[in-house]
DNA sequence: GTTTTTGCAAATGATTTGCATGGAT
DNA sequence: ATCCATGCAAATCATTTGCAAAAAC
């Protein structure tokens, strides 16, 4: 069962396994980089009675628990993906908005040198590359 | 004159030098990482007749021209700073929201390996570190 | 004088809040 | 049976849009 991982993931964290939560996670497995609005639309295809606010709850709660990953490009609503245990990051085309997963160029998650960490314990490092994608360059859209 | 740089900066780009634009730039020189709302409040201390919408225009236009830099932490409105020609990045405390400038750990701006650039030409790489700052750790706020 | 930028008003978009009901354990 | 999560409604926050008037070149 594909849900198994997510169910145990939540149970292990003391979260209750609900249809809404599973539905949100399935959508994000299929469509990473989705906005809350997109998730709601997709969830409603199968479960029309899941409320918008509940989806927001789920997105917030699961992000806080580390099951989801959230990032917020400029001029965009927050985007979500099911958190995977690599250190991939994102490249966004500032012209058409398309987003690609990219591997971290340095081979490991960026980190701070102790001399420059300002006393902070870093938990997440998100890299957002912004540029122009091949299609936009060719079509002169930029 | 401290404004000189900004004025010539704008003139060189064919942008008109207005009091509103200069005021926004001065605020961001003093208070980097400010939100639009903060900028409006600060600008209004001296120039109460500058409209909110105009500040948004300025922030958008100057960011587009590369004079300002915008980044958008989760759960935060967009933040702005006058763009400086280094590759510093940002560390945000997920508990109290404080933001520190940090130097890029690898010594240069992150870049993509050609084999992994998806055909995109990268113009900006923003790194956002998220963690818990020393104060929050000590006070147990997290 | 011409074009860009501003100011005003209104609308839209994204997200959060509070409280009673329903559902998972 | 208990407590967590949901649904509903309303509110709030951030930002954009359109057009006439003012300002910079």
| A122 contacts B131? CB cut-off 8 A | yes
Strand C nucleotides within 7 Å of a protein CB: 4-10, 13-18, 23-25
Residues B99 and B130 in one domain: yes
Q: Which of A80, A99, A118 is the last residue of a domain?
A: A80
Residues A70 and A132 in one domain: no
Residues A67 and A14 in one domain: yes
- Tell me how crowded residue B37 is: count the other CB atoms within 10 A of its CB: 11
Strand D nucleotides within 7 Å of a protein CB: 4-10, 13-18, 23-25
Residues A45 and A76 in one domain: yes
Touching check for B126 and chain A: CB below 8 Å? yes
Domain tally, chain A = 2
- Tell me how crowded residue B13 is: count the other CB atoms within 10 A of its CB: 12
CATH number at residue B112: 3.30.1490.190
Would you give per-residue pLDDT tens digits along chain B (142 residues)?
Answer: 444 589 999 999 999 999 999 999 999 999 999 999 999 999 999 999 999 999 999 999 999 999 999 999 999 999 999 987 777 889 999 888 999 998 876 655 666 666 678 888 888 888 899 999 999 888 876 5
Q: Which domain holds residue A136?
A: 86-142
Residues B55 and B114 in one domain: no
Closest CA to A117 of B90, B140, B108: B90
Q: Which residues have C-beta within 8 Å of that of residue B62, sequence separation ≥ 6?
A: B10, B15, B21, B24, B25, B68
**Tokens linked to A40:** 């709601």
Closest CA to B17 of B37, B34, B3, B31: B3
Residues A106 and A92 in one domain: yes
Residues B7 and B38 in one domain: yes
| Substitution target from B129, B135, B138, B140 for chain A, most A beta carbons within 10 A | B129
Q: Which of A61, A80, A99 is the last residue of a domain?
A: A80
CATH number at residue B26: 1.10.10.10
């Amino acid at each position: 069962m594909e849900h198994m991982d997510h169910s145990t993931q939540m149970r292990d964290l003391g979260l209750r396994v609900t249809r809404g939560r599973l539905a949100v996670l399935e959508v994000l497995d299929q469509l990473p980089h989705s906005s809350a609005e997109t998730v709601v639309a997709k969830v409603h295809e199968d479960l029309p009675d899941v409320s918008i606010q509940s989806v927001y709850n789920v997105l917030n709660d699961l992000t806080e628990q580390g099951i989801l990953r959230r990032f917020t490009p400029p001029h965009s609503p927050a985007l979500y993906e099911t958190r995977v245990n690599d250190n991939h990051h994102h490249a966004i085309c500032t012209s058409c908005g398309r987003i690609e997963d990219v591997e971290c160029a340095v081979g490991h998650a960026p980190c701070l040198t102790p001399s420059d960490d300002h006393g902070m314990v870093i938990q997440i490092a998100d890299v957002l590359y912004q540029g122009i994608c091949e299609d936009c360059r060719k079509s002169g859209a930029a």
